[in-house]
């Protein structure tokens, strides 16, 4: 099996720790343990014995995660090393060469690259800017064939921050049901809505039993270092995914599972997500003001969720070249639209501390004044 370079991840890995301002992050300013833990929890963590633990996830953690999904129980949950492993295990265990995958774009490009490497026929459909980054359901229907096995979505979306309407959610379920296909939804940004209304999960919402979703703590929760993600789906699909998980990372970290179980408790989860939304709502004002100051150069549809702005620019320069020059000349790092196959767009993360975000935008201002 040969895989293509995962441009987005490799570029970030090369440069994110080598610049003054890294604006490529799409999650929230990370917690410290001191900020996260309460009472004597630090002592409890210190005496936790560092074994493997249950390889498909601690029973208490699976129970806690299952409560996020109507009708789910622990057997409907597999705990993974981040949502990246969840995406990998689902793709690997449910698609064979010759199968067809209908995939939402733009998107986090992991499933795109994996499926193509596995010999899957990947048929993309694109969210439409004129629909405020919504889908054209008729376009999706035209892509469906008897070989369509999976329809894969990202909701809320990376990189646009858009959220599917209730009508569009139902339409995707109907399309999947008519095709007899699995509906796989990356829901990693669920909980990072700017209006505080949590995006409903696809899981447990519809009378269709071929729905699987992924989630995790890396984005909305500000806890990427824990590397905790999960799959939620029918018991047989989860059991099969666990068998594939045995061949990947075997288990997640015992410390991370212990912490995740506490973060996701009903009395603490709202507090954690409330911190995230406070940061997002303060920082989106900074981004909007900045774009307005450069309204002859930039246009964007404000995200409804997530910590990133997907911005169209009107400068005669390729997006990879623009990002490279900003990094090399001003030590500020953004993601170019070429990573998503969409030149003349850039993605700027705004989930960092406010002063840090403003410092990075000031460097971009300097570049624009000097060059354009």
Taken in order of first residue, the domains within the chain and their CATH numbers are: 7-32+270-371 (3.90.1150.10), 49-268 (3.40.640.10)
Report the percent of the chain where pLDDT is more than 70: 100
Average pLDDT of the chain is 97
Residue 91 CB partners (closer than 8 Å, separation 6+)? 111, 114, 115, 118
Beta bridge partners of 309: 348
Q: What is the pLDDT of residue 372?
A: 79
261-302 pLDDT, tens digit per residue, is 999 999 999 999 999 999 999 999 999 999 999 999 999 999
Q: Rounded CA gap, 20 and 345, in Å?
A: 22
pLDDT band at 347 (very low <50, low <70, confident <90, very high): very high
Q: Which of 329, 364, 334, 366 is nearest to 349 (CA)?
A: 334
Alpha helices in the chain (DSSP H): 7-15, 33-36, 41-46, 59-66, 82-94, 110-117, 137-143, 166-179, 235-245, 254-263, 269-293, 319-330, 354-371
Q: pTM of the entire structure?
A: 0.96
- CA 233 to mean position of chain CA atoms: 18
Residue 16 sits at φ, ψ, to 5 deg, of -65, -25
**Which residue do the tokens 């935008």 mark?**
361
pLDDT beyond 90 at 257: yes
pLDDT band at 101 (very low <50, low <70, confident <90, very high): very high
pLDDT beyond 90 at 4: no
Q: What is the DSSP letter of 295?
A: T
Determine the average pLDDT of the residues in 321-342. 97
């Amino acid at each position: 099996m040969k895989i293509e370079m995962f441009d987005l991840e490799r570029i970030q890995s090369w440069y994110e720790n080598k610049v003054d301002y890294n604006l490529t992050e799409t999650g929230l300013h990370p917690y410290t343990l001191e900020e996260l833990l309460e009472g004597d929890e630090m002592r409890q963590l210190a005496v936790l014995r560092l074994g493997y633990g249950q390889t498909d996830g601690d029973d208490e953690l699976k129970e806690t995660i299952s409560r996020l999904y109507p009708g789910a129980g622990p057997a409907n949950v597999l705990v993974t090393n981040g949502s990246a492993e969840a995406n990998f295990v689902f793709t690997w265990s449910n698609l064979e060469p010759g199968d067809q995958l209908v995939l939402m774009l733009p998107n986090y490009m992991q499933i795109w690259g994996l499926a193509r490497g596995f010999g899957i026929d990947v048929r993309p459909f694109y969210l439409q800017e004129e629909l405020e980054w919504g889908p054209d359901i008729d376009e999706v229907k035209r892509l469906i064939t008897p070989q369509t096995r999976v329809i894969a979505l990202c909701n809320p979306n990376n990189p646009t921050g858009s959220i599917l309407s209730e009508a569009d959610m139902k339409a995707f379920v109907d399309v999947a049901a008519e095709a007899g296909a699995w509906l796989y939804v990356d829901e990693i940004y669920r909980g990072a809505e700017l209006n505080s209304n949590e995006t409903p999960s696809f899981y447990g919402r519809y009378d269709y039993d071929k729905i699987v979703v992924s989630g995790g703590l890396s984005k909305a929760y500000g806890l990427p270092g824990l590397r905790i993600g999960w799959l939620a789906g029918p018991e047989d699909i989860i059991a099969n995914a666990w068998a594939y998980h045995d061949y990947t990372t075997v288990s997640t970290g015992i410390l991370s599972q212990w912490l995740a179980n506490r973060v996701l408790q009903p009395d603490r989860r709202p507090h954690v997500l409330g911190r995230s939304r406070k940061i997002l709502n303060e920082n989106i004002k900074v981004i909007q003001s900045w774009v307005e100051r450069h309204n002859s150069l930039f246009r964007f549809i404000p995200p409804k969720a997530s910590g990133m702005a997907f911005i169209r620019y009107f400068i005669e320069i390729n997006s990879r070249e623009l990002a490279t020059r900003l990094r090399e000349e001003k030590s500020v790092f953004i993601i170019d639209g070429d990573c998503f196959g969409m030149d003349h767009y850039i993605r700027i993360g705004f989930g960092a501390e406010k002063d840090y975000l403003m410092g990075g935008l000031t460097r971009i201002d300097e570049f624009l004044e000097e060059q354009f």
